């Protein structure tokens, strides 16, 4: 009976199996249609358009466009700005992502381990996330000012010579990384705290009975494995947030001096919105999307296998 | 009695629709509504509102509508390029002088030459040839200069005095300025000597290049010309600012903040900063402005920044009204409103001379005078040909950064700059 539905309880439907299946499929499609259309119109369609544009030389306001195949991508390989931006962005992710996740986990464990002021700490660490980054960048600009900034004044008390945090090509990327960690830390803390709360207390008691006496042993045997799903999510979201670094660069350094703080999204913005080269800008965006996708695939492939879903 | 019923509400909205439908018909029978787009509302919003009010009072048949202003010149030209492709262009738009070229290459601005001819002598209306030349591109009058600026020098007299300088004899040559800057930097206590606004764009570099009598590209625009003796002298001067004037590689914002806080002695940049300077300086700053140090008294020139009114409507019946608006905004009264409201330089020779307009203003506000006095030697801000214009600018700034950070010798940086820019020029 190949047509029969599993289980015998759907007897009324069995009378006209083919028609019912068709009707059900149609209804299914109908119900899914609004969401599917929206998905296509808002996400897939524009992405395909973008991909198509990246093979053209269209400039904003130009009369027409020409199909230039991989021309834009070939130019990317010789473009100093783009290469510097790619290098700086990957460096930024490599520094900011582990630093904010490591620090965030530490802070979350400390806050969660304490007994008082949990909500207050959570709010304080979350402040940078809810504040407008461009406005905060102005505050950072003042803090890091080479001559009148409090940071250099403070260092001066210990006899350290002033550092030109945002104006020197050696220091500008480390400075932006520090601001990036500050920006992401609160987000990571809040996510990890949510993960920690979900771990049942009995597991810790059981681990202790089984001989896990030290805090480290409990962390290694209970906390860390059970935080797996949270960690996967945190790593994914932090990686994307780091890749998207733009506000601080646009507000503080404009990619300078001499491309020392150029990042992918800023180059894309400049190409598209200052140079009017939409086709080229689309190619940069395509590369950006490829990097994001590659990172996501890597993470889910590698991490998903090791994550223990309780 | 005063209850609004559903039927009443429907009726009201229908009546509203009817009125809206009647509206265009009314507009066609005599009154015209001009759409005028402008950038940088922080500087120009009040000025534009005043100009519209006075213009409408003088021309009852024409009303002015301002759509949302663009935050800066880049986005302003973006908006117009986009509308040029998709429709919905404003009748008039105020555009950055260095963006007129790309607009003209896209054939968007209406040539204003016939409208000017109608006015009789442009000179007599206050539009001198140098002023008209600021917005001439590709053989057409692409716009009419509205608010323009040129570079000047800002001093904090308190620091000048502490360093032993004479506030009444401020430097008139770069040698004097660099020496004074070095002395101010030697005061210590987190005080810096000078900042020359080299970052952001090539405008201030061109001030040094033009100051020596140089030019960016050759006459035919096929090759770079800034690597000649004038260009060498310009980059050497930037190198000396660092070595003798002890200039630090600050971002523009950081330099302005230090100046506001009384920790920077000399700042050199556009005259358009005057307004924000006056609002932002702390009590420890006594502000004075001077002209740029003279480099070559005969061949020396300075770049002009700012914007121009561009006519975009192709409809002959609207062009007439649009021209009347442009002529008012760039006429003596419009220019008086603009200058009083912003600190930019007027682009009408009648406005600053005539007591009815700005004659008294310049006597009472000496900070604004240096830029005004430099107008005769100000020439257009050079816009590079082709689609790589902004990238050329960036290449220049990046190489200047190497000099200011003392990572490259000025000659080496200039040679790299010339080679890289040459690659970006249209072939």
Q: What is the CATH number for A131?
A: 1.10.3720.10
B225-252 mean pLDDT = 95
Yes or no, beta carbons of B190 and A253 under 8 Å apart: no
B151-156, strands of its sheet edge to edge = B192-196, B264-270, B151-156, B287-290
Contacts across the A-B interface (CB distance below 8 Å): 92
Same-domain check for residues A43 and A176: no
A181 and A146 co-located in one domain: yes
Alpha carbon distance A81, A77 (integer Å): 10
Considering the domain architecture, whether residues A250 and A220 belong to the same structural domain is answered as: yes
Angle at which helices A228-243 and A278-306 cross, to 10°: 170
Q: What pLDDT band is residue A64 in, cutting at 50, 70 and 90? A: confident
Q: What is the mean pLDDT of residues B302-306?
A: 94
Position B98 scores a pLDDT of 87
A16 and A87 share a domain?
Answer: no
Q: How far apart are CA B135 and CA A204, in angstroms?
A: 76
- Same domain membership, residue A32 and residue A78: no
Q: Which run of H or of E encompasses B358? A: none
Domain membership of residue A251 (yes or no) is yes
Count the neighbouring beta carbons within 10 Å of the beta carbon of residue A234: 25
Q: What are the CA-CA distances from residue A189 to residues A65, A120, A127, A196, A247 (Å)?
A: 48, 13, 11, 10, 22
CB contact under 8 A, A141 and B258: no
**pLDDT at position B23 over 50:** no
- Which residues does chain A have within 8 Å of residue B387's beta carbon, measured at their own beta carbons? 59, 275-277
* Token pair in block for residue B118: 């109608």
Strands (DSSP E) found in B227-333 = 264-270, 287-290, 302-311
For residue A64, tell me if it sits in a domain: no
β-strand pairing of B144-149 with B302-311: antiparallel
A-chain residues near B390 (CB < 8 A): 270, 274-275
Chain A hits for B251, CB-CB cut-off 8 Å, are 166-167, 252-253, 256
The answer on pLDDT for B27 being more than 50 is: no
pLDDT at A208: 87
Q: Is A228 exposed, middle or buried (0-12, 13-18, 19+ CB in 10 A)?
A: middle
Domain identity same for A82 and A124: yes
Which two structure tokens, joined as six digits, stand for B180? Answer: 């004074």
Q: Is residue A115 part of a domain?
A: yes
Q: Which residue of B has its CA nearest to A166?
A: B251
In a domain, A3, yes or no: no
A168 near B CB under 8 A: yes
Among A259-263, B77-81, B154-158, B346-350, the minimum mean pLDDT is found in B77-81
**Interface with chain A: mutation pick from B394, B395, B407, highest number of A CBs within 10 Å:** B394
How far apart, in whole angstroms, are the C-alpha atoms of residue A93 and residue A239? 7
Three-class DSSP category at A121: helix
Whole-angstrom distance, CA of residue B104 vs CA of residue B110:
9
Selection from B122, B365, B52, B390 nearest residue A273 by Cα: B390
- Residue A2: band (very low, low, confident or very high) from pLDDT cuts 50, 70, 90: very low
Residue B174, φ and ψ in degrees, nearest 5: -65, -35
Residue A63 forms part of a structural domain: no
How far B175 CA sits from the closest chain A CA (Å)?
Answer: 25
Cβ–Cβ below 8 Å for A147 and B388: no
Same domain flag for A152 and A38: no
Q: What percent of chain A has pLDDT over 70?
A: 91
- How large is the angle between the packed helices A228-243 and A172-197, nearest 10 degrees? 150
Question: Residues A129, A276: one domain?
Answer: yes
Indicate whether A228 pLDDT > 60.
yes
Residue A81 at interface with chain B, using a CB cutoff of 8 Å: yes
Q: Is the model's pLDDT at A159 over the cut of 90?
A: no
Q: Tell me: pLDDT of A298 over 50.
A: yes
How confident is the model at residue B25, as a pLDDT?
A: 41
**Is B420's pLDDT higher than 70?**
yes
Q: Hey, of A63, A146, A253, which one would you mutate to test binding to chain B, going by the most B CBs within 10 A of its CB?
A: A146
- Over residues A266-279, the pLDDT tens digits come to 999 988 877 778 89
Contact B33, B52 (CB under 8 A): no
B415 vs A: CB within 8 A:
no
In a domain, A247, yes or no: yes
**Is residue A11 over pLDDT 50?**
no
Residue B252 touches partner A, C-beta closer than 8 Å: no
- φ/ψ (deg, to 5) at B295: -100, -65
Residues A44 and A38: their CA atoms lie apart, in Å, by 9
Q: Is the pLDDT assigned to residue A245 strictly greater than 60?
A: yes
Same domain, A130 and A182: yes
> ω before B179 within 30° of 0 (cis)?
no
Asked whether residue A5 is domain-assigned, the answer is no
Classify residue A263: in a domain, yes or no: yes
User: CA distances (Å), A17 to each of A6, A28, B419, in order?
Assistant: 13, 16, 76
Label the pairing between strands B140-141 and B136-137.
antiparallel
- Residues B262-292 have pLDDT tens digits of 999 999 999 988 888 888 899 999 999 999 9
Distance from CA of B66 to the nearest CA of A (A): 22
Q: How far apart are CA A260 and CA B398, in angstroms?
A: 10
Helix axes A133-143, A150-157, angle to 10 degrees: 40
In chain A, what is the greatest distance between 2 CA atoms, to the nearest angstrom? 90
Tokens 């803090």 sit on residue? A143
Residue of A60, A81, A138 for testing the chain B interface, max B β-carbons within 10 Å? A60
| Whether the predicted pLDDT of A4 surpasses 60 | no
Cβ-Cβ contacts under 8 Å for A270 (sequence gap 6 or more): A81, A255, B390
CB B348 within 8 A of CB B332: yes
- Residues in B closer than 8 angstroms to A256, CB to CB, are 199, 251, 397-398, 401
**What was the pLDDT predicted at B21?**
46
What local confidence, expressed as pLDDT, does residue B427 receive? Answer: 75
B84 Cα to chain A: minimum distance (Å): 6
**Chain B residues 64-103 with CB within 8 Å of chain A:** 74-75, 78, 80-82, 84-85, 102
User: All domains of chain B, ordered by start, with CATH?
Assistant: 32-149+304-380 (3.40.190.10), 151-302+384-424 (3.40.190.10)
Same domain flag for A132 and A198? yes
Q: Is A246 on the interface with B (CB under 8 A)?
A: no
B92-134 pLDDT, tens digit each: 999 999 889 989 988 999 999 999 999 989 999 999 998 999 9
pLDDT in the model for residue A180: 94
Q: Do both A167 and A41 map to the same domain?
A: no
Residue from B84, B405, B421 whose CB has the most chain A CBs within 10 Å, to mutate: B405
- pLDDT for the residue A16: 55
Q: Give the angle B121-B123-B128 at the CA atoms, nearest 5°.
A: 140
Structure-model confidence comparison of residues A78 and A64, the more confident one:
A78
Pair (A208, A136) in one structural domain: yes
Q: Which of A146, A270, A276 sits opposite B254 (nearest CB)?
A: A146
Dump pLDDT digits (tens) for A89-104.
999 999 999 999 999 9
Beta bridge partners of B307: B96, B147
User: Which of A114-118, B166-170, B361-365 has the highest mean predicted lDDT (pLDDT)?
Assistant: B166-170
Question: Residue A38's domain spans which residues?
Answer: 11-53
Residue B226 backbone phi and psi in degrees, to 5: -85, 0
Total of domains in chain A: 2
Distance CA B115, CA B324 (A): 9
Nearest to A258 among B78, B264, B401 (CB): B401
Q: Which two tokens stand for residue B114?
A: 């016939």
Q: Which helix (H) or strand (E) holds B193?
A: strand B192-196
Contact B388 A145 (CB under 8 A): no
Residue contact B106–A61, C-beta within 8 A: yes
Contact B114, B91 (CB under 8 A): no
């Amino acid at each position: 009976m190949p047509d029969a539905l599993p289980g015998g309880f759907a007897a009324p439907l069995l009378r006209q199996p083919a028609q019912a299946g068709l009707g059900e499929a149609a209804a299914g499609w109908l119900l899914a249609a609004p969401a599917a259309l929206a998905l296509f119109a808002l996400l897939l369609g524009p992405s395909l358009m973008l991909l198509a544009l990246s093979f053209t030389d269209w400039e904003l306001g130009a009369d027409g466009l020409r199909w230039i195949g991989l021309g834009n991508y070939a130019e990317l390989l010789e473009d100093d700005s783009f290469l510097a931006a790619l290098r700086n962005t990957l460096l930024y992710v490599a520094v900011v992502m582990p630093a904010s996740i490591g620090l965030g986990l530490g802070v979350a464990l400390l806050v969660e381990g304490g007994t008082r002021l949990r909500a207050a700490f959570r709010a304080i660490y979350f402040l940078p996330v809810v504040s407008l980054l461009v406005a905060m960048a102005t505050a950072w600009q003042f803090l890091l000012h080479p001559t009148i900034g409090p940071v250099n004044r403070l260092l001066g008390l210990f006899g350290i010579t002033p550092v030109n945090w945002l104006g020197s090509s050696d220091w500008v990327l480390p400075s932006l990384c520090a601001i990036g960690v500050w920006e992401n830390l609160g987000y990571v803390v809040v996510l990890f705290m949510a993960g920690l709360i979900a771990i049942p207390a009995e597991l810790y008691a059981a681990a202790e009975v089984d001989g896990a006496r030290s805090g480290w042993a409990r962390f290694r045997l209970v906390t860390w494995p059970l935080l797996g799903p949270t960690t996967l999510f945190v790593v994914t979201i932090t990686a994307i947030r780091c890749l998207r670094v733009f506000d601080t660069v646009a507000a503080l350094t404009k990619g300078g001096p001499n491309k020392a703080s150029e990042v992918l999204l800023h180059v894309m913005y400049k190409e598209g919105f200052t140079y009017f080269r939409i086709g080229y800008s689309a190619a940069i965006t395509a590369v950006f999307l490829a990097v994001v996708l590659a990172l996501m695939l890597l993470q889910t492939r590698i991490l998903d296998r090791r994550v223990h879903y309780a | 009695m005063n209850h609004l019923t559903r039927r009443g509400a429907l009726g009201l909205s229908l009546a509203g629709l009817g009125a809206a439908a009647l509206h265009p018909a009314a507009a066609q029978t005599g009154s015209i509504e001009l759409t005028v787009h402008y950038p940088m509302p922080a500087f120009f919003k009040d000025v534009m509102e005043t100009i519209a009010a006075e213009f409408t009072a003088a021309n009852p048949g024409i009303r002015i509508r301002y759509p949302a202003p663009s935050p800066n010149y880049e986005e302003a030209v973006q908006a117009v390029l986009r509308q040029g492709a998709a429709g919905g262009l404003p009748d008039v738009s105020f555009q950055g002088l260095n963006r007129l070229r790309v607009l003209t290459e896209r054939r968007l601005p209406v040539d204003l030459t016939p409208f000017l001819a109608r006015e009789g002598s442009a000179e007599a209306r206050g539009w001198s040839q140098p002023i008209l030349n600021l917005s001439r591109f590709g053989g057409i009058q692409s716009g009419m200069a509205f608010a323009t600026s040129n570079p000047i020098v800002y001093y904090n007299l308190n620091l000048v005095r502490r360093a032993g300088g004479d506030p009444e004899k401020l430097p008139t040559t770069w040698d004097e300025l660099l020496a004074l800057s070095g002395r101010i930097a030697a005061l210590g206590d987190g005080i810096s000597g000078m900042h020359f606004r080299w970052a952001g764009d090539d405008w201030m570099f061109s001030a040094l290049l033009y100051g020596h009598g140089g030019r960016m590209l050759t006459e035919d625009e096929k090759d770079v010309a800034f690597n000649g003796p004038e260009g060498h002298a310009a980059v050497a001067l930037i190198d000396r600012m660092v070595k003798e004037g002890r200039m630090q590689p600050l971002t523009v914002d950081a330099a302005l903040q230090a100046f506001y806080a009384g920790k920077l002695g000399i700042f050199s940049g556009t005259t358009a900063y005057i307004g924000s300077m006056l609002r932002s300086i702390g009590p420890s700053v006594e502000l004075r402005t001077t002209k740029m140090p003279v480099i070559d008294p005969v061949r020396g020139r300075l770049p002009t920044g700012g914007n121009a009114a561009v006519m975009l409507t192709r409809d002959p019946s609207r062009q007439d009204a649009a021209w009347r608006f442009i002529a008012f905004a760039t006429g003596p009264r419009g220019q008086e409103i603009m200058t009083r409201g912003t600190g930019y330089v007027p682009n009408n020779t009648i406005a600053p001379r005539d007591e009815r307009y700005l004659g008294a203003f310049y006597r009472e506000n000496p900070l604004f005078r240096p830029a005004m006095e430099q107008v005769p030697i100000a020439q257009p801000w050079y816009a590079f040909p082709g689609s790589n214009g902004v990238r050329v600018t960036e290449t220049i700034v990046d190489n200047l950064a190497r000099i200011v950070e003392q990572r490259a010798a000025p000659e080496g940086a200039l040679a790299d700059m010339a080679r890289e820019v040459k690659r970006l020029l249209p072939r």
